[in-house]
């Protein structure tokens, strides 16, 4: 079974409170999503392998650690996942970015795929799938199905807010995937919105309605 990490870091909790508030406007919402994604990436990269190299400081020779050069990929689920990409790329500038376009059919709440563009060496990369919201879990499950179908093997999923229903569904569908969540909320409402949540992440991020 994959691991589930729910963050209790004060900076993440503080920033989440502000993005949840209904009066928070698009500019601040975007900045905070970016910052939370950076903080989450810091934790989600904790197991990256290191190599030891020899360097020379102004004082002496020493052995010191560098990243081993593992190839990483970031795959946002469109649209709202885009808001998390830059915050992660800041820490991992060599990562390649793929895109998976999915929207939730408002009637059935089932995800509909409309776009897929991935790095050509997807089979060799460790992949971070990112989306601010894990509600029913349908979008995340479908995005990961799509990646696995194309040969992706090692996948982590990062989201800001999850509903217990979505978390359970994702764990059952993809038990090999580690899941990183900034906050685990109470439930879904009858329209498939996370309660208390933050509303429609894509609309708040891009100022649409």
Binding mask 102-141 for ligand PRP (x = CB under 6 A): -xx----x-x-------------------xxxxxxxxxx-
Strand (E) or helix (H) holding 168: helix 164-173
Residue 103 as a binder of ligand URA (CB under 6 A): the answer is no
Is 104 tagged catalytic? yes
Q: What is the rounded distance in angstroms from the CA atom of residue 74 to the CA atom of residue 84? A: 10
Is 108 tagged catalytic? yes
Q: Which of 89, 133, 140, 158 binds ligand URA (CB under 6 A)?
A: 133
* Sign of the torsion formed by the C-alpha atoms of 157, 160, 166 and 167: positive
Q: What is the rounded distance in angstroms from the CA atom of residue 41 to the CA atom of residue 81? A: 14
103 binds, among ligand PRP, ligand URA, none (CB under 5 to 8 A by kind): ligand PRP
* Residue in 24, 126, 154, 200 annotated catalytic: 200
Q: Which of 41, 72, 135, 167 binds ligand URA (CB under 6 A)?
A: 135
Burial of 145 (0-12, 13-18, 19+ CB in 10 A): middle
Length of the chain: 209
Residues in the site for ligand URA, rule: CB under 6 A?
133, 135, 192-194, 197, 200-202
Which residues are tagged catalytic?
Answer: 104, 108, 200, 203
């Amino acid at each position: 079974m994959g691991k589930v990490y729910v963050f209790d870091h004060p900076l993440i909790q503080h920033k989440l409170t502000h993005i949840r508030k209904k009066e928070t406007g698009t500019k601040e919402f975007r900045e905070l999503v970016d910052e939370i994604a950076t903080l989450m990436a810091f934790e989600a990269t904790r197991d990256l392998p290191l190599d030891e190299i020899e360097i020379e400081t102004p004082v002496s020779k020493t052995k010191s650690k560098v990243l081993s050069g593992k190839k990483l990929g970031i795959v946002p689920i469109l649209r709202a996942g885009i808001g998390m990409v830059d915050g992660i790329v800041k820490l991992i500038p060599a990562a390649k970015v793929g895109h998976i376009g999915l929207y939730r059919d408002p009637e059935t709440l089932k995800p509909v795929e409309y776009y897929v563009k991935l790095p050509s060496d997807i089979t060799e990369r460790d992949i971070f799938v990112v989306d601010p919201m894990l509600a029913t879990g349908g979008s995340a499950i479908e995005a990961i199905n799509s990646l696995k179908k194309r040969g992706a093997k090692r996948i982590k999923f990062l989201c800001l807010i999850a509903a217990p229903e979505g978390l359970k569904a994702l764990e059952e569908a993809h038990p090999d995937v580690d899941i990183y969540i900034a906050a685990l909320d109470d439930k879904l409402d009858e329209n498939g919105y996370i309660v208390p949540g933050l509303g429609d992440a894509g609309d708040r991020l891009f100022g649409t309605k």
